Structure 1
Amino acid sequence: MSATIDNAVKQDAPDLEAQNKMAVHALILLLITFILGTLCLQGFNLVFTNIGNDVGAPEQAALITSLPSIVLGIVCFIYGSLGDFVSLKKLIVFGLVTLFVGSLFGFIANFFFTKNLWTVIIARMLQTAGEQVSGSVYLVIATKYLKKELKVIFFGLFTAGYQISAAIGVFAAGLLTSIAWQYLFLIPAVTIVFLPFLLHLLPNHRGGSQHVDWVGFVIFGLASAFLSLFFSYNKWWMLGVCAALFVIFAVYINKADDPFITPAFFKNTRWLAGIMLIVLFYFTNYCVSPIFNSMGGALYDMDVTQVSQYIVWAFIVAAVFGTTSGWIVGKIGRTPAIVLASLFMMCGFVGSALCVNTNFTLLTVFACVFYAGCGLMYSPVVSTVLDTLPVDESGRGVGMNDLVMNVTASIGIAVFGAQLGATTLGGGSLIGATGPAAVYSNLLLIAAGVVALGLIWFIVFHKRIYAGESAQEQKTVDQPQEVLEVLDPVK
């Protein structure tokens, strides 16, 4: 591990294998960093209602998740897009230092001083802005430096890492809530120790352009933020500001000499059709944990620790399917894998909706089915969308994927979370229940409907999405021996 990706890239063509090996070494460290950083996000997703009650702001508790999620979407986009322009080492330094500062601030402000909703939110926003750097850099490295047959493997490992961190985060949140939820802030602080190793491995060279279009980044980031804020606060003026900013952005990229993203990017109809899959399949991404946590308390008289002991198995299932998704895609192809994953997700939601009043063990089984679909979905969907773009736009593709995925999910949690304590959907349901049980059942059926729309979209447009790829390019080759050789640092 003494060489760097930079050195491998500068060598002759026969050293392409060396480039892949150096990339793998960096990806392993980035994945560990990502897992530790994501623990916080999943832990707070599970217990934000409990924290809201503890700080005396139960009606605003969803902001603990929704506002950091907005930040997450924006920094995902910025980090990924900057991968085409600036040194990845600089991104890592900024991200991990910000994560460390946010972790210490959140713990100290809420443990040693008066607990406050906004110190929690500010700390979570700082942590979120920092923790995502490892995820975005991971995806940029995997997209730019790995050969095609390895990409789907490492995309699968990435979502497996996410689900593993979710499982540990759920368990840790349940445990620490019974002690002091403030300790959740400290979990990702340890990632600072990985900084020297990542600085040694990551490439230092800039992207093809020496110009960083900060004006374009700011306009687009603000527009995305106001879009998410509208769904959190339901203030129409925010939607108006969002629309105005997107119009300004459209004018800007048509007039600017060297914008970070050109109008041609948004005229790529294959990419537009592909990105809609992420919009629809990931709209409910943050909703399952809070829905099950709320159901456990309202219908089964369970505390958050008890709920976490059940729901953690769903994340473990997701991690297993994420880890094996590369192999599965290699065997059946991306199209069948996307269809199968969406069917798992729908069955999980529908099954849960029909069994709300049975027992929590059965609900957990259906949660496992849903998360099996989530674990399987990420690798084929992300590789499908990124393959609609040329390699020199892969960083911006990664950034746009992450932006859409996280802003969509933050809108979803704002919409669904607002209904958890409401009675709008409590009048009746397919299972004959009323009140809270009807609310949960109807929410789960609505979530299934959103996934169904994603499947319908894919069936209608999949030929357009894959247009232009040869049959060989569309086929992901399963080469386990080659993968093992690349993963072996001794060879």
Structure 2
Amino acid sequence: MSNTATVPATASADPWADPETSSSMAVKALIPLLITFILGTLCLQGFNLVFTQVGADVGAPAQASLITAIPGIVLGIVCFIYGSLGDFVSLKKLVVVGLITLFIGSIFGFVANFFFAANLWTVIIARVLQTAGEQVAGSAFLVVASKYLKPSLKVIFFGLFTAGYQLSASIGVFAAGILSSIAWQYLFLIPSVTIVFLPLLLKNLPDKQGNGEKVDWLGFTIFGVATAFLTLFFSYMAWWMLFVAIALFAVFAVYITKAAKPFVTPDFFKNKRWLCAISLILVFYFTNYFISPMFNAIGTTIYGMTTTQVSLHIVFAFLVAAAFGICSGGIVGKIGIQRALPIAGTLMAVGFIASGLAVNSGFVVLTLCACFFYAGCGLMYSPVVTTVLGTLSADESGRGVGMNDLAMNVSPSIGIALFSSLMGSQAFSGFSVIGASGAAASYSNILILAGCAPILGLIVFFAFRKKIYTEK
């Protein structure tokens, strides 16, 4: 009798309640999430490479950067929402909504732009839906990893995450280069197959409802809209958008002090260690979306290459990033976060500045320079995410992941909007430190300017290092 009495209790036990069991279950959930994230990011990086061509094909070359900038804004917002909701609602529900949205965006984008006249806004709407949907896998991955994995596995899986991102970027660039000569509309279909992973993810993801508190949708909305207007300002340089953003952030600041249960409290933003750490992401990732379209412009404008030829070169840089991402867990484990992070930042700065000095030295040399930048990107993710999340308590991990993702996507969205306008206007073509002229001079100076971002990141790191890594 006693044996039969214990069976239902064991069967109904929550496997996520035991640390050892939850870590094992987390690994089973993380693999399909990573594959889903890779396929979604593949599409994103493909459009990052060919957005200028797409803009020309739809008759809106001057607004082409919006194909990347607006989905980038949405990506930052949904990253923040998905990650933060991990503290409140079931990850299973988030995954269902996200993957269905991704599938709808993929089919709509292909059908609307392949069988009907391609239009800038049908491209943007489809990319927004895809972006909003695909990020559910990335955010769920980070929430599961930060909440349920054993500490010894966290750095490893953060490394695998950035390796997956860079691997998908390399495949995306390669696919975009090939499909650009056939029909870029096929890029939309690549992540549609992720819908087949839904049953497997539902089986392995935790069904916990977070802390049981009511979701603060009003707070999410105010913060999300404010962020959207801030990023749009840098795309359109319309000052009224900046004023609206500032006003909404002010409303949000007042709101979280008055609301009964805001999704984030004022104390969250009073955490000086977190503020110092998140500033590293804002600076280091500012130019993250920029190098692919810049190299595409250099290849086509200066060297007369096709986008396909450019992609065949850049793909090696992404593979280097994937390799460094895979090894980042071991590297961090061996030399420590405080050494790995500045090494990564130095590689990023060297990649940009060397590229600026080598604009006229041949595209193979430029590709080698890009390898330095992407090696830094591959190495950067694991130590910087571990650093930021290490400044927060366990019950704030979801919101920490959300804020990280928001910073990692909105900052480079602003960056690509600013640098794309500089590229298009040939603003720095009148002088050159390498003796170039015209477009070559402009591209050289812009790349050197972009190299200042990771240098600033290194300055911030060394200025705040003691504060960030000192416990309260």
User: Normalised by the shorter chain, which TM-score bucket?
Assistant: over 0.9
1:254 to 2:261 alignment: no
Tell me which of 1, 9, 16 is aligned to 2:16.
Answer: 9
Tell me which of 175, 181, 186 is aligned to 1:183.
Answer: 186
CA gap 1:4/1:194 in 2 versus in 1, 3 angstroms: farther
How many residue pairs get aligned? The number is 463
Cα deviation for residue 6 of structure 1 reads 8.2
Query: What is the match of residue 144 of structure 1?
Result: 147
Tell me which of 173, 191, 195 is aligned to 2:176.
Answer: 173
Query: What is the match of residue 113 of structure 1?
Result: 116
What code does the residue aligned with 1:329 have?
A: V
Q: Does the 8 Å contact 1:5/1:19 carry over to 2? A: no
Cα distance in 2, alignment partners of residues 79 and 69 from structure 1: 15
Task: Give the stretch that moved more between structures: 431-440 or 449-458.
Answer: 431-440
Cα distance in 1, alignment partners of residues 146 and 427 from structure 2: 44
CA gap 1:347/1:64 in 2 versus in 1, 3 angstroms: same
1:54 to 2:61 alignment: no
Query: What is the match of residue 382 of structure 2?
Result: 379
Q: Does the 8 Å contact 1:216/1:252 carry over to 2? A: yes
Query: What is the match of residue 421 of structure 1?
Result: 424
CA gap 1:270/1:5 in 2 versus in 1, 3 angstroms: farther
1:453 to 2:456 alignment: yes
Q: Secondary structure at the match of 1:178?
A: coil
What code does the residue aligned with 1:353 have?
A: G
Cα deviation for residue 433 of structure 1 reads 1.2
Q: What are structure 2's unaligned runs of at least 5 residues? A: 1-9
| TM, length-normalised to structure 1 | 0.93
Cα distance in 2, alignment partners of residues 55 and 260 from structure 1: 41
Cα distance in 1, alignment partners of residues 70 and 44 from structure 2: 12
Identity %: 66
Q: Secondary structure at the match of 1:300?
A: coil
Cα distance in 2, alignment partners of residues 114 and 6 from structure 1: 55
Cα distance in 1, alignment partners of residues 345 and 119 from structure 2: 40
Query: What is the match of residue 394 of structure 1?
Result: 397
Q: Secondary structure at the match of 1:361?
A: helix
Q: Secondary structure at the match of 2:14?
A: helix
Query: 1:447-486, aligned counterparts within 5 Å?
Result: 447-468=450-471
What code does the residue aligned with 2:260 have?
A: D
Q: Does the 8 Å contact 2:16/2:206 carry over to 1? A: no
Tell me which of 40, 44, 60 is aligned to 2:43.
Answer: 40
How large is the Cα RMSD of the aligned pairs? Answer: 1.3
Q: Does the 8 Å contact 1:104/1:185 carry over to 2? A: yes
Query: What is the match of residue 350 of structure 2?
Result: 347
Q: Secondary structure at the match of 1:428?
A: coil
What code does the residue aligned with 2:368 have?
A: V
Cα distance in 2, alignment partners of residues 123 and 237 from structure 1: 27
What code does the residue aligned with 1:260 have?
A: F
Cα deviation for residue 7 of structure 1 reads 2.8
Q: Does the 8 Å contact 2:16/2:25 carry over to 1? A: no
Cα distance in 2, alignment partners of residues 156 and 188 from structure 1: 22
Tell me which of 395, 399, 409 is aligned to 1:406.
Answer: 409
Q: Please list the CA deviations of residues 174-228 of structure 1 after superposition, one character each: whole Å capped at 9, or x if unmatched.
A: 0111110000000000000000000011011111132100000000000000000
What code does the residue aligned with 1:272 have?
A: L
Query: 1:196-345, aligned counterparts within 5 Å?
Result: 196-345=199-348
Q: Secondary structure at the match of 1:293?
A: helix
Task: Give the stretch that moved more between structures: 71-80 or 436-445.
Answer: 436-445
Q: Please list the CA deviations of residues 49-75 of structure 1 after superposition, one character each: whole Å capped at 9, or x if unmatched.
A: 011111111111000000000000000
What code does the residue aligned with 1:369 have?
A: F
Cα distance in 1, alignment partners of residues 341 and 13 from structure 2: 35
Cα distance in 2, alignment partners of residues 274 and 284 from structure 1: 18
Q: Please list the CA deviations of residues 333-362 of structure 1 after superposition, one character each: whole Å capped at 9, or x if unmatched.
A: 001101110111111111111100010000
Cα deviation for residue 455 of structure 1 reads 0.2
Query: What is the match of residue 7 of structure 2?
Result: none
What code does the residue aligned with 1:94 have?
A: V
Query: What is the match of residue 73 of structure 1?
Result: 76
Query: 1:91-110, aligned counterparts within 5 Å?
Result: 91-110=94-113
What code does the residue aligned with 1:154 have?
A: F
Cα distance in 1, alignment partners of residues 38 and 50 from structure 2: 19
Cα distance in 2, alignment partners of residues 4 and 288 from structure 1: 52
Cα distance in 2, alignment partners of residues 416 and 142 from structure 1: 34
Q: Please list the CA deviations of residues 394-413 of structure 1 after superposition, one character each: whole Å capped at 9, or x if unmatched.
A: 00000001001100010000
Query: What is the match of residue 28 of structure 1?
Result: 31
1:360 to 2:363 alignment: yes
Cα deviation for residue 8 of structure 1 reads 2.0
Cα distance in 2, alignment partners of residues 52 and 124 from structure 1: 13
Cα distance in 1, alignment partners of residues 308 and 277 from structure 2: 39
Query: What is the match of residue 124 of structure 1?
Result: 127
Query: What is the match of residue 473 of structure 1?
Result: none
| TM, length-normalised to structure 2 | 0.97
Query: What is the match of residue 482 of structure 1?
Result: none
